[in-house]
A and B are shown apart, each in its own frame.
Chain A
Amino acid sequence: MKKLSCRLAASIFAMLFLMVGAKAATLADVKERGRLVCGVNEGLQGFAAKNGEAWEGFDVDFCRAVAVAVLGDDTAVDYVPLSAEARFQALSEGKIDILSRNSTWTLGRELEHGLTFAGVSYYDGQGFMVPRQPERLSALELDGTIVCVLAGTTSQANIPDYFVANNMAHEIAALGSAEDILAAYQSGRCNVVSSDVSQLYAWRLLLADSDEHIILPDTISKEPLGPVVRKDDPHWATVVNWVLFALVNAEEMGITSASVDAAIASDKPDVRRFVGTDGSLGSDLGLANDWTAQVVRSVGNYGEIFSRNLGAGSDLAIERGLNRLWNRGGILYAPPHR
């Protein structure tokens, strides 16, 4: 009898625990609230910045895409600007539903804060800016150069590793600010600038003759940026992850904001399944069955989002590079929507 009550107590305890566990239902919370709370950068050109009252940028568009997927409305987002220091804690404490803020996916970050990265939305990495010269094709041709880099960053530490490993003589000019680096580069004190590629494009804009400088194709470090969610809600992670995959798959299938209707009317089985004309994948996921069509219609596919905020359609004019589709020269690869 005593044993039984012990078991009973244990199972009641287990049930309570499960109920508490099941409370981490972000999808239901967001639907009930009618708003998605999205953590973004306080201001980073191309990724998240306020234009008047409206937030714009690559990371902002991802928030919008999730809002359309869940709520059918790309304006149903409350943006929470977060500093680099505050971002992960804001997420783990439940102040935001999702962190979409140019954050590099590392094991340490997932472990320390109890978080999960829901895919990679942008492959960044350390690269090199040089004056545009026909014979300068790769970072392996930087022998004997003087490299400007921000002092005290991992970028500075990576330079000797790379140059020594490739038997290239070099000097480092480690400077304290972007202004100092660009001044040194323009005065000829250094002839190469190194930082994360997205950063280099932003810096290049500040040069008077920006068109005369290029960012070399090579990257010497891995900086995969992506949206982050809490670890305790796997279903929400699945939703966010597949919103990202949907944007990529839409580009791969040739579905744009302008061609959604053609996609809905398409005869191709993979396209019909994707936009929800066939099957029930959307409702099985807990969303509208045509959520992908809605997302692409209001936000565009991955290529459109990239181009508008970072790429050829923006001032930054960042090359797609690694972020091209896997079958178009890049490494962007989404699992099949089926």
Chain B
Amino acid sequence: MQFRLSLAIGLALTVFWAAISNAAQRKELDVEEQPGYIPTAAEEKLPAKWRPQPVFFRTTEPAGTIIIHTEERFLYHVMGDGRAMRYGVGVGRIGFEWQGIHRISRKSEWPDWRPPPEMIERQPYLPRFMAGGPGNPLGARALYLGNTIYRIHGTNQPQTIGHAMSSGCFRMINPDVITLYEGVPVGTRVIVRQAPKL
């Protein structure tokens, strides 16, 4: 029990430290990764709520803009004429919320994964480097947000969609991030919003 508690505190501290450390640390993902696990098609068939869906969405932002409402766990790809394509996403956990406006600075297919040192320390069995591929925790595509450590990327853990458990990145299932990637050029504006604070 005590061991578990101290482990939990240790993990929390490590993750927190990782989040506040600078971009050079390239904090990729949080603690419970399953590198090498390849999700099944059944797992990637999300509950209806989280599947892509065209929705009414009135905005002054131009078509093409990506708007993420973190508290809803939804990403809106603005289509214009009061519509958006909505995707379910996984978001940063409590303490790792952020908001702001960035532009997509880089896109990559099947990105490689380099777990940061603090994650290796905690989970020594993790690979130092994992080439991009179906079992990679970063999934099929990554869209880099400005010069931050954050990105929109795929995942090999479809069950995390709709949850707040990343360290600030936005995860989508691979089929969805592939679709989004096709329609999002470098330079696209990404607006991240949080629930209002009291």
Q: Is the beta-carbon distance between B198 and A262 smaller than 8 angstroms?
A: yes
Query: Counting CB contacts under 8 A, is A137 at the interface?
Result: yes
Q: Residues of B contacting A268 with CB < 8 Å?
A: 198
Query: Which listed segment binds A: B19-27, B54-62, B130-138?
Result: B54-62
CB-based nearest A residue for B58? A329
Q: Is the beta-carbon distance between A138 and B56 smaller than 8 angstroms?
A: no
State which residues 58-90 of B face A: CB under 8 Å. Answer: 58-59, 67, 69, 76, 79, 81-85
Q: Is the beta-carbon distance between B198 and A134 smaller than 8 angstroms?
A: no
Task: Assess A331 versus B49: contact at CB under 8 Å? Given A254-B195, A266-B198, A268-B198.
Answer: no
CB-based nearest B residue for A268? B198
Bound: A330/B67 CA distance, A? 14
Q: Is the beta-carbon distance between B55 and A321 smaller than 8 angstroms?
A: yes
Bound: A252/B193 CA distance, A? 13
Bound: A277/B20 CA distance, A? 36
Query: Counting CB contacts under 8 A, is B146 at the interface?
Result: no
Q: Residues of A contacting B198 with CB < 8 Å?
A: 253-255, 259, 262-263, 266, 268, 271
Q: Is the beta-carbon distance between A331 and B58 smaller than 8 angstroms?
A: yes
Q: Is the beta-carbon distance between B48 and A211 smaller than 8 angstroms?
A: yes
Bound: A118/B47 CA distance, A? 37
Q: Residues of A contacting B53 with CB < 8 Å?
A: 132, 214, 319
State which residues 190-241 of A face B: CB under 8 Å. Answer: 210-211, 214, 216-219
Q: Is the beta-carbon distance between B56 and A329 smaller than 8 angstroms?
A: yes
State which residues 312-327 of A face B: CB under 8 Å. Answer: 312, 317, 319, 321-322, 324, 326
Query: Counting CB contacts under 8 A, is B52 at the interface?
Result: yes
Q: Residues of A contacting B48 with CB < 8 Å?
A: 210-211, 317
Q: Is the beta-carbon distance between A137 and B56 smaller than 8 angstroms?
A: no
Q: Is the beta-carbon distance between A254 and B197 smaller than 8 angstroms?
A: yes
Bound: A326/B53 CA distance, A? 20
Q: Which of B56, B179, B196, B197 contacts A218 (CB 8 A)?
A: B56
Bound: A214/B69 CA distance, A? 21
Q: Residues of B contacting A134 with CB < 8 Å?
A: 52, 179
Bound: A210/B79 CA distance, A? 25
State which residues 3-59 of B face A: CB under 8 Å. Answer: 47-49, 51-59
User: In angstroms, how far is the closest chain B Cβ from the Cβ of A328?
Assistant: 7
Q: Is the beta-carbon distance between A217 and B196 smaller than 8 angstroms?
A: no
Q: Residues of B contacting A214 with CB < 8 Å?
A: 53-54
Q: Is the beta-carbon distance between B69 and A217 smaller than 8 angstroms?
A: no
Bound: A298/B26 CA distance, A? 45
Q: Is the beta-carbon distance between A137 and B196 smaller than 8 angstroms?
A: no
CB-based nearest A residue for B84? A329
Interface membership of chain A positions 247-273, coded 1 if the CB is closer than 8 angstroms to chain B and 0 otherwise:
000001111000100110010100100
Q: Which of B51, B56, B195 contacts A322 (CB 8 A)?
A: B56
Bound: A329/B69 CA distance, A? 10
Bound: A331/B146 CA distance, A? 31
Categorize the interface residue count of chain B.
Answer: 20 to 34
Interface membership of chain A positions 50-61, coded 1 if the CB is closer than 8 angstroms to chain B and 0 otherwise:
000000000000
Q: Which of A138, A253, A262, A271 contacts B81 (CB 8 A)?
A: A138
Q: Which of A137, A219, A259 contacts B79 (CB 8 A)?
A: A137
Q: Is the beta-carbon distance between A138 and B195 smaller than 8 angstroms?
A: no
User: In angstroms, how far is the closest chain A Cβ from the Cβ of B78?
Assistant: 9
Task: Assess A312 versus B58: contact at CB under 8 Å? Given A138-B81, A255-B198.
Answer: no
Q: Residues of A contacting B54 with CB < 8 Å?
A: 136-138, 214, 216-217
Q: Is the beta-carbon distance between A321 and B56 smaller than 8 angstroms?
A: yes
Q: Residues of A contacting B59 with CB < 8 Å?
A: 329
Q: Is the beta-carbon distance between A319 and B85 smaller than 8 angstroms?
A: no
CB-based nearest B residue for A213? B48
Q: Is the beta-carbon distance between A254 and B196 smaller than 8 angstroms?
A: yes
CB-based nearest B residue for A322? B56
Q: Residues of B contacting A266 with CB < 8 Å?
A: 198
CB-based nearest B residue for A134? B52
User: In angstroms, how far is the closest chain A Cβ from the Cβ of B83?
Assistant: 5
Q: Is the beta-carbon distance between B83 and A217 smaller than 8 angstroms?
A: yes
User: In angstroms, how far is the closest chain B Cβ from the Cβ of A48?
Assistant: 25
Bound: A137/B79 CA distance, A? 9
Bound: A263/B57 CA distance, A? 29
Which residue, of B52, B76, B82, has the highest number of chain A Cβ atoms within 10 A? B82
CB-based nearest A residue for B59? A329
Q: Which of B76, B79, B85, B196 contacts A252 (CB 8 A)?
A: B196
Bound: A328/B196 CA distance, A? 11
Interface residues of B (CB under 8 A from A): 47-49, 51-59, 67, 69, 76, 79, 81-85, 179, 195-198
**Sample of 13 further A-B pairs with CB below 8 A, known A218-B56, A319-B56, A321-B55:** A132-B51, A134-B179, A137-B54, A138-B54, A138-B83, A211-B47, A217-B57, A218-B82, A219-B56, A268-B198, A329-B55, A329-B76, A330-B56
